Structures are given as C-alpha cells and as structure tokens.
Chain A
C-alpha cells in the first residue's frame, strides 16, 4: 500500500529516471555513434543523429593509425592488475588487524589512513617525481604502479575491515583452541571466508586503478611502450586534425574491460561498496 503509486506518479517517476539516465549515458551513446561515422561525415553540418553511411570501419582503422594501440591496452590492463595486487598485499594484513584486535592507537592510526584520502596525487607530484627518480623508477611501469596503489590502500583497508568484522570471532577461537597459529588461522580460516570481501575490494581497486591512469602516466612516464590507454589515446589528436571517429572507437574499446567486469560482478560490488561505506 505504501509502495503503490498511481499511474500518473508512476509515469512521472519513469520520466524522471529517463532524464537522469539520459544525462548519465548520452555521452556514451554519442561516442559510439561518432565511432560509426566516417570521418568526412563527422565534419558535416548540420548535425545528423543517424545516417546511412555508418560502419564499423573505424574499429579496424584504429590499429593502423596508432600501431601501438594493442600495447596501450595491454599496459592499461597490466598496470591495473599490478596496482591491485600491490594494493591488496598491504590491505589484507592491515584490515585484519583493525577488524580483530584492540590496541592503543587503533582509532588514531585508522584516522590517519583515512586522512590520506585528502590528498590527491596532483598535490604531491613534485616530491614523488624526485623520489621515483632517485629510485631509478621513472619511465618504468613501477612509476605508475607504486603511487597509484598508495591512494587505493586506505579505502581498501576500510572496506575489507568491515567485511572481516562480520566473520564470527568464535571460528578463530576454535582454531586457536586446536593449536593453530595466528598466521595459519588467517590463511586457512579467515581468508577463505573473506573471499567475497576480498573480491569486492580487489575489483574496486582494479576499477579505481584503471580509471585513474592519466596523471601519473603523463607525469612520471615518457616511454611510449609503457603508456596506458588513457594517455596513449591522445595520439589520435594529430598535428593536422583530430581523428575523432577512431578516437571514439578506441575509447569504446578502452571502456569495455571495466564495463564487463562491472556487469558480471555488479551484484556483489553494489552490496560490498555500500556495506563498507555507510558508516557511523
């Protein structure tokens, strides 16, 4: 009864949702349409929404215009994967400690971790540049992985912590009674149970790492062989003209990996994201 809407209310709501989603999705639709149009047609006024000369030609031309494109796509996926792995190595033990133990300085240190969210990479670029240079890591994959993972760690700890808190403490205590060590318990009892949480935090980190590849890539790396797609895609902007249709085609291809991951795992992601984050 409380959830029943009159027909008019219903229509109004659907219309509002329609407008909202149009704002969210129109850019993607337009990117896709632009990728289908021949370049000559793109530069034709007045604007035409649909026409007959659309084709998938751009999707085969991109590999010729920017020969390194497969490399860029590989780099993007590789960088995001490595960033996620590095991030998880730091997140898992710390999250476990915060979820299970009471110790002095707990609230303060957790607060300090979360305070990292205050800083964007852009604020710290100068010393980071010097740091990476002194370690000899400029113009390598590590120049993008190391700073990239750092900014994902605090949120990761916080999310995984709230997952681990839901695992009953009695399970661990039973393991201890049986004489298992702490590390053994962590490995054999906690981690298997926390697997859904680990997946959510991992995928979240992956999406974050994949989405934010631009800044560190253009600042710390000049090696084209290591460029991720979001930086390499600007090669479609030539000296003479911008090859818009191919740039859009490459963009669509760059979007697909995260879109697939998200679609497959969206049920867990939505629940996981908000479970950890709706905080007191």
Chain B
C-alpha cells in the first residue's frame, strides 16, 4: 500500500517534469527540440524503410548476392551490366517510354483541364468522372485493359474489324510494337486524371482580372490561353511534368500485369528488368546494380527538377 503510494508520488513527479518540459517556454531550444520530437517517428520510419534499404542496395550491388552466400565482387555487376548487349536498348526503351508517356499525359491533361475549366453546364459532374482511372486499384484497371486488348474478343479488335481496318483478330499484346504502345496507352490512362485535376486547380487560381483586361483589349481565346493561362500555370505544369516523369520511369505494375516485360523484352524498362533479375531470377547483386543505376538517373532528374523549378519561379513569379 505504502510503496504503491510512493510509486504514485514518483509518477506524479515524473508527469509534472514531463509536462514542464513540453510546456512552451520562450527559449528557442525547447521549440526546436519539440519540433524534432514530433518529426522523429516519421524520420525514423523513413530511415528504416527507405534510407537503409537504399544503402543496402548500394552495398549489394558490389556483391554476387543470390540465394546462396554473398561475396564482394567489386564493380563486376556494373561491368557485366554495361557490357551486356541488351542493356543500352533497355535504357533507350525506358527513356522513350517515359518521354512518350509523360508527353501524352501532359498534352491530354492540359486539354482536359482547359475543357473542364470552361464554364459549362455539368462541369462538376465532368470533374468527378475524370477521376476513376486514378483511384481504382492499378491492378484492376490493368485487368480491364487486358480484356480490351484481347484479340479475339476484346472491344478494340472487334470494333476495328467491323470498321474493316483490320481483317482478322489482332492480339495487341502479342507483338513487340503493339504491346509497347498498348502499355503506353494504359499508362497514360492511369496517369492523366491526376495531371488534369492539378492543372485545372492551377487554372482556377489564375486571377480573373487578367483575362478580363485581355478580353477588353480584344485578345482571342487562344491568345489568352497562350499568354495568360500557360505562364500562370507554368510552375504547376513543371512540377507535374517532373513528378510524372519520375513515376512513369518507375512504373512497374502496369507493364508487369499487361506483358511481364514481353513479348521478347519489348516492354522491359529498367524497373521491370530490375524486378526480373532480382526477384524472378534471384540474382540480388545484379538486380541491385540496376536499382542503383535507376536511383542515379532519378537523382539527376531531381537536381534538374529543383533547378528548373527555381528558374521557372524566377521567370514566371510565385503564384502567391
């Protein structure tokens, strides 16, 4: 009983100490400490799930890690990778994949946002109807496209046959070229809604008096779009372009579900190649070397991005 009470007194003392510690005081140190205490859990989590795995990937890339033992092999994985016949093609394909897909997403997103920004009846409903490809599970969206691309029974092949554009069933995912472009279409389908919505929001932030002044001066709609809308949404546009580039570069699930990188490697981008090497074939070391290259390329991207954002902000001014 007595010891219980002592415990309680002690606990109360500790609680008071703790409360005094977290109570705001005017000292700058306490603020900084409190801020870091709040951030620490998230930071530790990121270290565990992102930063440490990243360092471990770099280490693994210098080993021959696989199912069995692992030994240090120096730059062997990188040499093998850079000297392989397929690798330059894979890198080229990845960049082609990224530029084509991001370009299409941006163009479609810009068109979509302009259309949805117009003051038309039903615009609220249109905005909602754009979203589904983005919010449904990626894997399920891809299953839908698997069915659409089916040569014998899918709607695309069916309609093209009825229109007389193709004579017989066409399996879109069975040929190198058509598989690649089919995967692009699906990737664009999934990526466009987000870009549309963000560009739309940026367009709605453009001060109306700019348009009105231009209108009074007799500027055409196209001119207003070119000289007012585009410069004003430029910061958002650049952000979306680069974020989308990073995501498209890393786009894995779409390709994996549609083609698993086939036929004959036609849709194997770097990320798919990494997965195939490391997870499907258990060559961890060689897979890690590929992952490190991806990170290196994306880091260059990131630096480019920050530089571009700075430049764009200086040129077009902060929106706020």
Q: Identify the A interface with B (CB < 8 A).
A: 1-3, 5, 10, 13-14, 16-17, 20-21, 23-28, 30-31, 34, 42-47, 49, 76, 89-91, 93-94, 96-98, 100-104, 106, 109, 112-113, 115-120, 122-131, 146-147, 150, 153-154, 157, 176, 181-183, 207, 210-215, 219, 229-231, 233, 244, 247-248, 251, 254-255, 258-259, 262-263, 266, 270, 273-274, 277-280
Known contacts A211-B137, A254-B137: does B246 contact A117 (CB below 8 Å)?
Answer: yes
Cβ–Cβ contact B246 & A46, under 8 A: no
- How far is B120's CA from A3's CA once the two chains are assembled, in angstroms? 9
| Residues 88-133 (chain B) with a chain A CB within 8 angstroms | 108, 111-112, 115-116, 118-120, 126-133
From B35, B161, B257, B302, residue with most partner A Cβ within 10 Å:
B35
- Residue of chain A at shortest CB distance from B32: A103
Q: Mark B4-23, 1 if CB is under 8 A from A, else 0.
A: 00000000000000010011
Determine the residue in chain B with the shortest Cβ distance to A104: B32
| Residues of chain B lying within 8 A (CB to CB) of residue A213 | 137, 139
Taking CB atoms, residues of chain B closer than 8 Å to A98 are 39
Q: How far is the CA of A160 from the CA of B236 in the complex (A)?
A: 19
Task: Determine how close the nearest CB of chain A comes to the CB of B132; give it in whole angstroms.
Answer: 6
Q: Does B304 contact A (CB under 8 A)?
A: no
User: When the two chains form the complex, which single residue of A49, A150, A214, A270 contacts B253, counting CB atoms closer than 8 Å?
Assistant: A214
- Bound state CA distance, A210 and B23, in angstroms? 39
Q: Is the CB of B129 within 8 A of A25?
A: yes
Q: 8 Å CB contacts to A: which residues of B37-86?
A: 38-39, 41-43, 45-46, 48-50, 52-54, 56-57, 60, 65
Q: Are A94 and B299 in contact (CB under 8 A)?
A: no
Q: Using Cβ atoms and an 8 Å threshold, which residues of chain A touch B279?
A: 125-126, 129, 219
Q: Which residues on A sit within 8 Å (CB–CB) of B140?
A: 229-230, 233, 251, 254-255
Return the contact of B39 from the options A34, A93, A115 (Cβ within 8 A). A93
Query: Top 6 nearest A-B pairs by Cβ distance?
Result: A47-B158, A274-B201, A120-B250, A230-B139, A127-B53, A150-B49
Chain A residue at minimal CB-CB distance from B208: A2
**21 A-B contacts, Cβ less than 8 Å apart?**
A14-B120, A21-B126, A24-B130, A27-B144, A31-B144, A43-B152, A47-B161, A97-B36, A102-B31, A116-B46, A117-B246, A118-B298, A120-B250, A124-B49, A126-B53, A126-B284, A127-B60, A150-B46, A210-B137, A244-B150, A255-B132
Chain A: minimal CB distance from B141 (Å): 7
A123-B291, A125-B275 known; A280-B38 Cβ under 8 A: no
How many of B's residues come within 8 Å of A, CB to CB?
A: 107
- Asked if B147 is at the interface of the complex by the 8 Å CB criterion, the answer is yes
**Given A270-B127, A278-B236, also A115-B302 (CB < 8 A):** yes
Chain A nearest CB: distance from B181 CB in Å? 15
Which A residues are in CB contact (< 8 Å) with B130?
20-21, 24
Interface contact B318-A280, CB-CB below 8 Å:
yes
Count contacts between A and B, CB distance < 8 Å: 284
- Check B38–A96 contact: CB distance below 8 A: yes
CB-contact partner of B53 in A20, A118, A128, under 8 A: A128
Q: Please give, as numbers and ranges, the residues of chain B lying within 8 Å of A46 by CB-CB distance.
A: 158, 161-162
Verify B137–A247 contact, CB threshold 8 A: no
Q: In the assembled complex, which residues on chain A have CB atoms less than 8 Å from the CB atom of B230?
A: none
Q: Is the CB of B141 within 8 A of A27?
A: yes
Q: Give every chain B residue within 8 A of A279 (Cβ-Cβ).
A: 235, 239
B24 near A176 with CB under 8 A, answer yes
The answer to whether B136 and A255 have CB atoms under 8 Å apart is: yes
Whether the Cβ atoms of B132 and A119 lie closer than 8 Å is no
Q: In whole angstroms, how far apart are the Cα atoms of A258 and B60 in the complex?
A: 39
CA A13 – CA B135 in complex, angstroms?
Answer: 25
Report A77 CB to chain B, min CB distance, Å: 12
A107 and B52 CA atoms in complex are apart in Å by 22
Residues of chain A within 8 A of B287, CB atoms compared: 126
B268 to chain A, nearest CB (A): 13
Q: Is B87 an interface residue (CB 8 A)?
A: no
- In angstroms, how far is the closest chain A Cβ from the Cβ of B142? 9
Alpha-carbon distance A227/B107, docked complex (angstroms): 37
**A247 CB contacts on chain B under 8 angstroms:** 143, 147
Interface pair A13/B115, CB less than 8 Å apart: yes
In whole Å, how far is B258's beta carbon from the nearest beta carbon of chain A? 12
Residue of B nearest to A231 (CB): B139
Residues of chain A contacted by B257 (CB below 8 angstroms)? 214
Separation of A16 and B117 alpha carbons in the complex (Å): 13
Q: Is B271's beta carbon under 8 Å from chain A?
A: yes
Chain A's nearest CB lies how many Å from the CB of B301? 8
Of A10, A97, A113, A117, the contact of B38 (CB 8 Å cutoff): A97
* Cβ < 8 Å to A, chain B residues 210-241: 211-212, 215, 235-236, 239
Q: Within the complex, what minimum Cβ distance (angstroms) separates B151 from chain A?
A: 10
Contact of B198 among A24, A129, A153, A278 (CB under 8 A): A278
Q: B278 to A113, Cβ gap below 8 A?
A: no
CB distance from A129 to the nearest CB of B (A): 8
Taken together as a complex, chains A and B put the C-alpha atoms of A10 and B274 apart, in Å, by 49
Known: A31-B144, A127-B56, A233-B143. A120 touches B153 (CB 8 A): no
Nearest residue, chain A, Cβ from B61: A126
List B140-194 residues whose CB lies under 8 Å from chain A.
140-141, 143-145, 147-148, 150, 152-155, 157-159, 161-162, 169, 189, 192-193
Given contacts A45-B169, A270-B197, contact A13 B250 (CB under 8 A): no
